[in-house]
Amino acid sequence: MSSIELRHVKKTYDNGVTVIEDMNLVIPDGSFTVLVGPSGCGKTTTLRMIAGLEEITEGDLLIDGVRMNDVDPGDRNIAMVFQNYALYPTMTVRGNIEFGLINAKVPKEERERRIEYFSRIVGLTEYLDRKPSQLSGGQRQRVALARAMVKHPKVFLMDEPLSNLDAKLRAQMRTELIALHQRLGTTFVYVTHDQTEAMSMATKIVLMNEGKIQQAAEPLTIYGDPANKFVAQFIGVPTMNVFERASLPDLGFSDDVAWVGFRPSRALFAEKVLGSHPNGEKAMTDAYVPKQGDLVFGGTIAIREIMGSEIIYQAETGFGNVSFKTFNQPQVDVGTQVKLCVDRSSLYLFGSDEKRVVA
Ligand SMILES: Nc1ncnc2c1ncn2[C@@H]1O[C@H](COP(=O)(O)OP(=O)(O)OP(=O)(O)O)[C@@H](O)[C@H]1O
Ligand SMILES: [Mg+2]
């Protein structure tokens, strides 16, 4: 159990480039904190500073309130799992998991108890006598996790541990990691550039861009109450539609508002249109009746992606392409003229500095 705190942390690499400016962050004890952001924003650098693998140029790193800047990585009681977890190819799964424990002089009986316990947790009990080459990618990934867990770390750091796996296995491992975190109660710090991973697993998301924290909050706060245009457009599939206020119909917003956005799920048909159900049967869609002050516009459907119960469309409008999605509605063909509407309360407003303006 451990909380982690970064106070005014700065990182300048040897080449003189500062990649982390002035980072202030609290990672709560027992949280599943996910650092997310585009490539190069400083996620790995931050994780490596916590692990002690990278020197901190300025500022303090505290674990459970104790300054850790000068503590050796091996003395921080932290385990780290990388994207390219190297397993020992000549050792069995058991050997790989046990190796670190032998090095740490854990007695044999205790070693066996932990191997038994953690291999069960990650679902590897039946594979203990196999070599890594006889395992699937996901099973190898689980060996890497078990190998880190048996050391009973206070903090578990993971850097894109699922990026080598196919989509189905990644989704399965996401669920397993959530369950694992609930069972262990250990502080997890997880790095990814994948917002779906961040949204689905995190108890706290730290969204970074260009070495700065854009917002740190619970997933639903990040999604529903983004602090700025960058956060709004980073989270959500498809991304939030954002247009210059001047290009949209005049809705009487104050002069502070430079940008107006809305989620694809919030754009609804304002008039019923003809579509078809998957069985070919023709039917009219539902329609929402716009109120005074709502954003209402016409468009032509240009692209349609059928995802199952959900359909994602792109419509060409007078002010640009708009993404929208429908749920359990008949499919509307490409080329169809539509009238769309966004409830005024679903509009996100941003100033010219791209910070959120709450009307
Ligand atoms: N050893 C180094 N020396 C100089 N610059 C470095 C070094 N390591 C990383 N950087 C730079 O620091 C910045 C942040 O890198 P970092 O690896 O932390 O990004 P990241 O968010 O993990 O990206 P990705 O999603 O691509 O893994 C990048 O611009 C990178 O080029
Ligand atoms: Mg990285």
Task: Say how many Å lie between the CA of residue 42 and the centre of ligand 1.
Answer: 6
The answer to whether residue 355 sits within a structural domain is: no
Question: Is the pLDDT assigned to residue 56 strictly greater than 80?
Answer: yes
Q: CA-CA distance, 46 to 51, in Å (whole number)? A: 9
Whether 35 is in the pocket of ligand 1, judged by its Cβ within 6 Å, is no
Which of 209, 233, 257 is the last residue before a domain boundary? 233
The pLDDT of 47-72, averaged and rounded, is: 96
Query: Which of 13, 54, 210 has most ligand 1 atoms within 8 Å of CB, for mutation?
Result: 13
Give the 3-state DSSP-derived string for the chain, with helices as H, strands as E and coil as C. CCCEEEEEEEEECCCCCEEEEEEEEEECCCCEEEEECCCCCCHHHHHHHHHCCCCCCEEEEEECCEECCCCCHHHCCEEEECCCCCCCCCCCHHHHHHHHHHHCCCCHHHHHHHHHHHHHHCCCHHHCCCCHHHCCHHHHHHHHHHHHHCCCCCEEEEECCCCCCCHHHHHHHHHHHHHHHHHHCCEEEEEECCHHHHHHHCCEEEEEECCEEEEEECHHHHHHCCCEHHHHHHCCCCCCEEEEHHHCCCCCCCCCCCEEEECHHHEEECCCCEEECCCCCEEECCCCCCCCCCEEEEEEEEEEEECCCEEEEEEEECCEEEEEEEECCCECCCCCEEEEEECHHHCEEECCCCEECCC
Closest to 201 in 3D by CA, of 223, 186, 181? 181
- The confidence band for 176, taking pLDDT boundaries of 50, 70 and 90, is confident
- Which atom of ligand 1 is found nearest the CA of 38? 25
Q: Say yes or no: 133 and 149 in one domain.
A: yes
Whether the ω angle into residue 330 lies within 30 degrees of 0, i.e. cis, is: no
* pLDDT surpassing 80 at residue 40: yes
Least confident range from 20-24, 31-35, 178-182, 256-260: namely: 178-182
What's the domain count of the chain? 2
pLDDT of residue 282: 96
Q: Domain check: are 214 and 260 in the same one?
A: no
Q: What is the mean pLDDT of residues 266-270?
A: 97
Domain with residue 249: its CATH number is: 2.40.50.140
Residue 228 falls inside a structural domain: yes
Query: Confidence band (pLDDT; 50, 70, 90) for 188?
Result: very high
Give domain status of residue 356, yes or no: no
Predicted confidence band of residue 1 (pLDDT cuts 50, 70, 90): low
> Are 215 and 248 found together in one domain?
no
The band of 21, judged by pLDDT with boundaries at 50, 70 and 90, is: very high
The model's confidence at residue 152, banded by pLDDT at 50, 70 and 90, is: confident
* Domain identity same for 42 and 78: yes
CA distance 210 to 20: 8
Among 337, 335, 350, which Cα is nearest to 248's?
A: 350
What is the pLDDT confidence band of residue 9, given thresholds at 50, 70 and 90? Answer: very high
Single residue among 179, 207, 233 that ends a domain in this structure: 233
Tell me: the pLDDT tens digits for 119-132?
A: 988 889 999 999 99
Of the candidates 288, 293, 332, the one whose C-alpha atom is nearest the C-alpha of residue 313 is: 332
80 and 222, same domain (yes or no) = yes
Answer yes or no: is 99 within a domain: yes
Q: What pLDDT is attached to residue 127?
A: 96
Is 357 domain-assigned?
A: no
Does the pLDDT value for residue 88 go beyond 70? Answer: yes
pTM: predicted TM-score of the whole model, two decimal places: 0.92
Asked whether 88 lines ligand 1 (CB < 6 A), one says: no
Mutate which of 41, 82, 164, 210 for ligand 1? The one with the most ligand atoms within 8 Å of its CB, which is 41
In terms of domains, do 199 and 248 share one? no
Residues 137, 178 share a domain: yes
Has residue 210 been placed in a domain?
yes
- The answer to whether residue 69 scores a pLDDT higher than 80 is yes
Tell me: pLDDT of 164 over 80. Answer: no
137 and 244 inside one domain: no
Domain boundary residue, one of 233, 257, 275: 233
Give the CATH number of the domain where residue 128 resides.
3.40.50.300
Same domain for 259 and 214, yes or no, is: no
Residue 358 in any domain: the answer is no
Q: How far is the CA of 39 from the centre of ligand 2 (A)?
A: 7
317 located within any domain: yes
Sorting pLDDT into bands at 50, 70 and 90, what band is 348?
Answer: very high
> 195 and 296, same structural domain?
no
Minimum-distance ligand to the CA of 42?
Answer: 1
Residue 96's pLDDT is 95
How much is the average pLDDT of 313-340?
97
Distances (CA, A) of 209 to 23, 77, 315: 12, 29, 30
17 Cβ below 6 A of ligand 1: yes
Query: How much distance in Å is there from the Cα of 257 to the middle of ligand 1?
Result: 35
Query: Mean pLDDT, to the nearest integer, of 271-285?
Result: 94
Q: Which domain holds residue 244?
A: 240-350
The reply to whether 225 and 320 lie within a common domain is: no
How many CB atoms are located within 10 Å of the residue 197 CB?
23
175 and 286 share a domain?
no
Handedness of CA 83, 89, 92, 97 (dihedral sign): negative
Atom of ligand 1 nearest to the CA of 43: 21
